[in-house]
Amino acid sequence: MTRKDRSVRLKTSASSRAKRRLRRRLSAGLLLLVALAVAGGLAAVLTPTPQKAVADESSSALLRTGKQLFETSCVTCHGANLQGVPDRGPSLIGVGEAAVYFQVSTGRMPAVRGEAQAARKDPIFDAGQIDALGAYVQANGGGPTVVRNPDGSIAQKSLRGDDLGRGGDLFRLNCASCHNFTGKGGALSSGKYAPDLEPATEQQILTAMLTGPQNMPKFSDRQLSFDAKKDIIAYVKTVSEERQPGGYGLGGFGPAPEGMAMWIIGMVAVIGAALWIGARS
């Protein structure tokens, strides 16, 4: 082999070794990048995301407004921590947003004076203030909530069930003993009474069943399912809105006042007819 051939062979061998080293370095670098990518992906999947308390500005503003309203209108009777004040007002712990909505939207609270039973009147607070006050009590005391539409508004018409017959049966079984068969209310003991249900909205009827205001019992979902409550609401609203086929409904109080009215009218008619006949004789 000549010197020239050896030189060419050495150069070729050196070039091959250089290429192999370059390929090994590139392969090692590629493997390192793949390993880093896999490790990063596993870390992202397996590492728990830290929980950060991100304050919702609208909710915070609502709670601040509710706190201000509570401190100016409710704290004297219900206490700074919702624990209640003896001989003034009950605890609000556990009553929830639903109780606030019922009591405040019907004007029963804030109470004007101490009495056997708070009567329905025009509400002092508007809808936004009622929401704020309810949110504050709910956040600090918990309890049942109101039912809302998908857009966040208070549900009303959507709370009417589909089975009026079932609603009537359930109402007569659970409510008629106090509220009468048509929801017109009636007297109870110790100066208390079951109110007329005609002015009550669907949400007010529901929240009353959920929270049991005054002398009314609570109806949990074990006693009356949500669908059963909706059927009762449908019955009450249908009865209160339907027209009286006979003309004047006499308040819808049932057969006793209607029978009395018929007796009085009949007796007057008979006596009048007798007097007229006697005068003509």
Q: Is 230 a known ligand-binding residue?
A: no
Is 175 annotated in a binding site? The answer is yes
The rounded Cα 258 to chain-centroid distance in angstroms is 39
Cβ within 8 Å of residue 183, ≥6 positions away: 171, 175, 196, 197, 198, 236, 239, 240, 252
Give the CATH number of domain 57-146; options: 1.10.760.10, 3.40.50.150, 3.20.20.210, 1.20.1050.10.
1.10.760.10
**pLDDT tens, residue by residue, 229-241:** 999 999 999 998 8
**Which two tokens mark 211?**
């929270």
Measure the CA–CA gap between 273 and 266, rounded to whole angstroms. Answer: 10
78 is an annotated ligand-binding site residue: yes
Least confident residue range of 72-81, 157-166, 213-222, 250-259: 250-259
- For the ranges 64-73, 162-171, 180-189, 225-234, the lowest mean pLDDT is seen at 180-189
211 assigned ligand-binding residue: no
CA distance linking residue 233 with residue 160, whole number of Å: 6
Residue type at position 65: T
What CA–CA distance (Å, rounded) separates 267 from 127? Answer: 52
Tokens matching residue 271? 């006596």
Confidence of residue 113 (pLDDT cuts 50, 70, 90): confident
Where does the chain hold its CATH 1.10.760.10 domain(s)?
57-146, 156-242
Query: What is the CATH architecture assignment of 156-242?
Result: Orthogonal Bundle (1.10)
Q: CB-based burial of residue 111 (10 Å sphere; 0-12 exposed, 13-18 middle, 19+ buried)?
A: middle
* pTM of full prediction above 0.75: no
